[in-house]
Structure 1
Amino acid sequence: MSAEKSILNKNGIPSFVTDYIDSYKKNNIVLNIERIKLIKQLEDTIFKKVESGGLYFDEKHIAGCINFAEKWYFPLEPFQKFIISFIFLYHSHNQRAYYKEFLIMMGRGGGKNGLISVISHYLISELHGIENYNGSVVANSEEQAKTSFEEIYDAINKKSLLQRAFYKTKLEITSNATNSKFKFHTANPKTKDGGRQGFVIFDEIHAYENASLVNVYKSGMGKKKDSRKFYIGTDGYVREGYLDSMKNKANNILDGEHPDSKMFVFICKLDDVKEVSDETMWEKANPMFSQPMSEYAEILYEEVKEEFLELNYDSTSRTEFMTKRMNLPEEDMEKIVASWEDIMQTSRPMPLLNNRTAIVGVDYANAIDFAAVGFLFRIDNNYVWHSHSFARKEFLDTHSLGPPIGEWEKKGYLTIVEAPTIDPKLMVDWVKQECERLNLTVHKVMVDNFRYDITRPAFEDAGYEMELLKYMPSIHAQLSPRVETIFRNHQVIWDDNPLMRWYTNNTAVKIKKDGNKEFIKKDPVRRKTDGFHAFLHALYRSDEVVGQDLDKSFDMLELIDF
């Protein structure tokens, strides 16, 4: 490429990068905080390494990929050219790609799938020039997994020159020059082999409940030069899943906590839910809406605007609109126990529990899957919950629940039981163990009437007073105002307990015809709620232990000979 046509400035930075940053600094585009942090990170670290000669942008590949896209697909937006530039950033000493991972998140319609189709097609082509640089796109559903594959397939189908360069079937696209193959896969980690991948695209990562699928494909990486992983999607409704861990990692990277990270983070979202009322802020979530808008963007903008106006008449669609269009999850507070932010506030450290009185709550609804038990204390106007769960190994082996149950067992949050049923004596033994360890007093044990005939003898034989909760829908209606209040006021403490967060997030609030609320499961099999219901049972009598610890302290003082 001749000097006069170079896309690099005197410092070696592509014009596609500097132009995008200049647009922000001149207030021509509006960016969210994550992209503002990205620019600062690039200026503070990456650009300095380029200027000093430690890194370089390969202008041949950058221009080649962009030209390939605009010749065979569609005109690229400035933000898309900005992203492509960093795919072809290399170490100077060994000519290997600098960024190994790319996290790209934005509102629905932002063009992430189209961009990834272009990139994928280029990477397997002779223009990229790496032989056997195989690529895969992975998603939870076949329809989503085939999105980019079919876009490439259709592009080849329309152009005779591309037909001579690539061989295609309905399952695989192959470059005749490099023998690089591109496939799609659905999400079933037990039946997949990572293989020798040059690059992998993990699509709609909001639906991944854990890292098992990603790990399968990552295991086949690193064996090819310049292997890359792309994570793309819009936010979703699965909490404590793979996406949440990725977002935490991404934020730490943008905050400078991992300066050696090789992940490029490009997240577009509203910074605050209030911004949804200002249409000029929408481009924070969807960079397609930056001025000047393309014809595609104008059509999309009108569609999104119509959806927003419709919220005045159908408020039930707001959660979907905020999550998918604005890439900022907003939960329907009428259908959940508490917001995810409020649930996370339960993760504060436990106060000292020794020598206290508690209500014990038990949930033993189904002896063949999960059971839960815990102590509820009233300490400094907080509701402190110390609990443990039991889960049957056979149930876990036959049902893919999503969260890392095995890891949670290692950390002591639950016990996996290898037996036909969960013996209620296991819960009694745990209560006795904790009473002895912490010198606790049990005021009474609360349990609902489901399987009460099994749980009652076990606890009564151990000397504990039982109280039967007979009509749970009525009790839920009585408790719902308190549950809402104590979560919103951050009065619930159960330490950093992912199992309890999972239980609570799995619980839905059903508003009945009479206006009363009932706590139910979001999913009858995969979304367990046992720990939350044990907490509810104890909450019903929690006022009875207020002040009892103070009384015990006075009793102990009387025994001391001063």
Structure 2
Amino acid sequence: MITYNYIQNYIQMWRDGEIILNKERILLIEWLEQDILTMQDIYFDSEQIENFIRFAEKWYFPLAPFQKFLTCFIFLRYKDTDDLVFDEFFIYMARGAGKNGFVSALVNYFISELHGIDFYNVSIVANSEKQAKTSFTEVYNAIDMNDDLKGYFKHQKAVIESVDTKAIFQFHTSNASTKDGLRDGCVVYDEVHEYENNDVVDVFSGGLGKVRDSREFFIGTDGFVRDGFIDRLKERAISILKREVSVKEDSLFPFMCCIDDEEEMHDTNMWQKANPMFHPPLSSYAKTLFKKVLKQYNKLKNDSSGYENFITKRMNLPKVNLEKSVASWKKIVATNQGYDLAELKKRECIGSVDYASIRDFVACGLLFVKNDYFIIPRELSYSFICKPFADKHYAYSTPKAEGNNKKDHRKFAPIREWEEEGLLKVLDKNSMDPYIVVGWFVDRRNEGWNIKKIVGDNFRMEILRPLFEAEGFEVETIRNPDAASALLAPKIELAFDDERIIWGDNPMMRWYSNNVLVVIDSKGNKLYRKKEAVKRKTDGFMMFLYGVWASRDLEEHDISASLDFLSALNF
């Protein structure tokens, strides 16, 4: 087994009980010791490791043990080709853990003569200019305040250039239309919790590979965008740590720090799981930060409004306030379970529709019940959206390269992407055509689905009812949706908790559900509302609610034999 003193020191600190690690970093150590450090064809580039540490500590700050540990793997190489073993790095830690400071020193080193690669350009990307400039400003100030560094780097307001290597460091916002002209050696993606999809990474990674030792760094604390880029990145990282893929298949190095359980936020000794700066002994910076975080924690005793933000940002554990949300994100994701369409086709189902507004969204679906599971297959869930609304609120017609709804990423909905996946259709109409909605259910019936009845709320059913009845459907109207919500809320909460709701891999239904706000009225009833009135739509969830309401009339057994018997009768 190969090793390096900084790696061994960090692991030994944990084994001796001097520091506490979260389960992801324990998996990291197991993975390294069993799969990586046992490789015979790799070596640590000690010259680069020591050069960087000396550079960082001379011009920036003393590196913490975990930062030296990380450094070793940035300069781990294959013996035969001298290629990097890891060319992507996921640095996932709580706010204040020094991600940007470490990256600032690193990118300054990368463009320097010590790194020794000419034209090794570095870009840092973030959603806002302020965030993108964080590390850039730190490097700029380090050069500006040290005359010795001024001899090696030209620093301007928008670009920093190495005199010797001609490598440049610059910042970008993620909504730029194209960066095809870049020839980067390294790209740093900052605050990746705000990235709603891969578009930014796809654009900037396209400039890599033109100089040797290309690297990508994904850094950030978790946030409030679910089913976005960071969730996919975390899934990828966990699959690596669980050794489901080899380093030859995926060369990402995942360094993930978070508390393991919500209760750990109440034990200050566990905070080091999320923020490795809190590993003892604490530096002067860490002591100051710890006091600040402790003050924020103590405020929660009298004002719980900051609870969600504290546990998400300071403990790096994504938190959905269950008093406000219909279910935790984990339980919403658990709706991605399999089902047998052929078997479901033998059963009765409820056709449900939410048609609350004629100018934005309509959600349609077929709901089945089987062994107390509520099932709306992905193939039998569909939405219609009016194009003017999609353009105004989700930048539907904006070219993909220019991004989508950058002003508020919590409300983002990739409408065009979902349309391409067959989950919805954008109608070039100012208002919804009810015949299109009814036609969707007629088409499903013509495909052989056994629709027992159509159910929806009273608000628009006066429009839809005669059209459905003209097509021979039985129609049920929910006259008081709030009363239905109050009655069904316990049933739906329990179904989420028991993971008895199945939608398949349906990001749109997950989005609908994550947008639901649960409010409690004066009588203690739970009612379903929207977390934001305009962009965070809940139509699909309400469609599901209506289906559950009418599901009492469904036969749970296979009805194909009964249908065959009826069709054989000669009336």
What letter is aligned with 2:309?
E
For 1:293-442, what aligned pairs fall within 5 Å after superposition? 293-351=282-340, 352-386=343-377, 387-392=381-386, 395=390, 396-397=396-397, 400=405, 402-442=412-452
How far, CA to CA, are the matches of 1:329 and 1:258 in structure 2? 26
Structure 2 residue 63 is the aligned partner of structure 1 residue 58: no
Specify every segment of 5 or more residues in structure 2 that has no aligned partner in the other structure, as ranges. Answer: 391-395, 399-403, 406-410
What letter is aligned with 2:107?
S
Q: 1:143, CA displacement in angstroms?
A: 1.5
How far, CA to CA, are the matches of 1:134 and 1:560 in structure 2? 76
Write the deviation string for residues 92-136 of structure 1: whole angstroms up to 9, x where unpaired.
222222211000011111111110111011001111111111111
Q: 1:183 aligns with which of 167, 170, 173?
A: 170
Contact 1:372/1:534 (<8 A) preserved: yes
How far, CA to CA, are the matches of 2:66 and 2:54 in structure 1? 15
Equivalent residue number for residue 276 of structure 2: 287
Structure 2 residue 277 is the aligned partner of structure 1 residue 265: no
Equivalent residue number for residue 7 of structure 1: none
Contact 1:156/1:166 (<8 A) preserved: yes
For 1:85-484, what aligned pairs fall within 5 Å after superposition? 85-193=72-180, 195-259=182-246, 260=248, 261-351=250-340, 352-386=343-377, 387-392=381-386, 395=390, 396-397=396-397, 400=405, 402-449=412-459, 451-484=460-493
Write the deviation string for residues 232-267 of structure 1: whole angstroms up to 9, x where unpaired.
011111110000000000000111112022111100
Q: 2:6 aligns with which of 16, 32, 36?
A: 16
Out of 244-253 and 281-290, give the one that drifted further.
281-290
For 1:540-555, what aligned pairs fall within 5 Å after superposition? 540-545=549-554, 547=555
Q: 1:559, CA displacement in angstroms?
A: 8.3
SS in 2 for 1:300: helix
How far, CA to CA, are the matches of 1:223 and 1:457 in structure 2? 64
Q: 1:500 aligns with which of 509, 513, 524?
A: 509
Contact 2:353/2:454 (<8 A) preserved: no
Q: 1:69 to 1:513 in 2, by over 3 A?
A: farther
What letter is aligned with 2:175?
N
What letter is aligned with 1:388?
Y
Q: 1:433, CA displacement in angstroms?
A: 2.4
Equivalent residue number for residue 8 of structure 1: none
Equivalent residue number for residue 401 of structure 2: none
Write the deviation string for residues 175-200 of structure 1: whole angstroms up to 9, x where unpaired.
11111111111120535446111111
What letter is aligned with 1:389?
S
Write the deviation string for residues 138-190 of structure 1: whole angstroms up to 9, x where unpaired.
11122211111111111111101111211112111111111111111112053
What letter is aligned with 2:50?
A
What letter is aligned with 2:371?
D
Equivalent residue number for residue 27 of structure 2: 37
SS in 1 for 2:334: helix
Out of 494-503 and 202-211, give the one that drifted further.
494-503
Q: 1:113 to 1:194 in 2, by over 3 A?
A: farther
Out of 349-358 and 228-237, give the one that drifted further.
349-358
What letter is aligned with 1:347?
N
Specify every segment of 5 or more residues in structure 1 that has no aligned partner in the other structure, as ranges. Answer: 1-10
Contact 1:189/1:216 (<8 A) preserved: no
SS in 2 for 1:397: coil
SS in 2 for 1:155: helix
Equivalent residue number for residue 487 of structure 1: 496
Q: Percent identity?
A: 42
How far, CA to CA, are the matches of 1:556 and 1:438 in structure 2? 13
Q: 1:454 to 1:444 in 2, by over 3 A?
A: closer
Contact 1:145/1:203 (<8 A) preserved: yes
What letter is aligned with 2:348?
T
What letter is aligned with 1:501?
R
How far, CA to CA, are the matches of 2:419 and 2:60 in structure 1? 50
Equivalent residue number for residue 67 of structure 1: 54
Q: 1:41, CA displacement in angstroms?
A: 1.6
Q: 1:550, CA displacement in angstroms?
A: 7.0
Out of 200-209 and 305-314, give the one that drifted further.
305-314
Q: 1:555 to 1:418 in 2, by over 3 A?
A: closer
Contact 1:241/1:403 (<8 A) preserved: no
What letter is aligned with 1:74?
F
Equivalent residue number for residue 38 of structure 2: 48
Contact 2:179/2:207 (<8 A) preserved: no
How far, CA to CA, are the matches of 1:409 and 1:90 in structure 2? 43
Alignment RMSD (CA, Å): 2.5
How far, CA to CA, are the matches of 1:190 and 1:511 in structure 2? 44
Q: 1:541 to 1:137 in 2, by over 3 A?
A: same
Out of 316-325 and 433-442, give the one that drifted further.
433-442
Write the deviation string for residues 278-298 of structure 1: whole angstroms up to 9, x where unpaired.
222221111111111111111
Q: 1:489 to 1:116 in 2, by over 3 A?
A: same
Write the deviation string for residues 396-438 of structure 1: whole angstroms up to 9, x where unpaired.
2256474554554454333344555543323322212222323
Contact 1:445/1:464 (<8 A) preserved: no
Q: 1:538 aligns with which of 513, 530, 547?
A: 547
Contact 2:49/2:75 (<8 A) preserved: yes
How far, CA to CA, are the matches of 1:503 and 1:161 in structure 2? 56
Q: 1:518 to 1:60 in 2, by over 3 A?
A: same
How far, CA to CA, are the matches of 2:314 and 2:421 in structure 1? 38
Q: 1:533 to 1:115 in 2, by over 3 A?
A: same
How far, CA to CA, are the matches of 2:463 and 2:180 in structure 1? 46
Aligned length: 546
Out of 355-364 and 19-28, give the one that drifted further.
355-364
Q: 1:429 to 1:555 in 2, by over 3 A?
A: closer
Write the deviation string for residues 371-407 of structure 1: whole angstroms up to 9, x where unpaired.
2111223322222224222234562225647455455
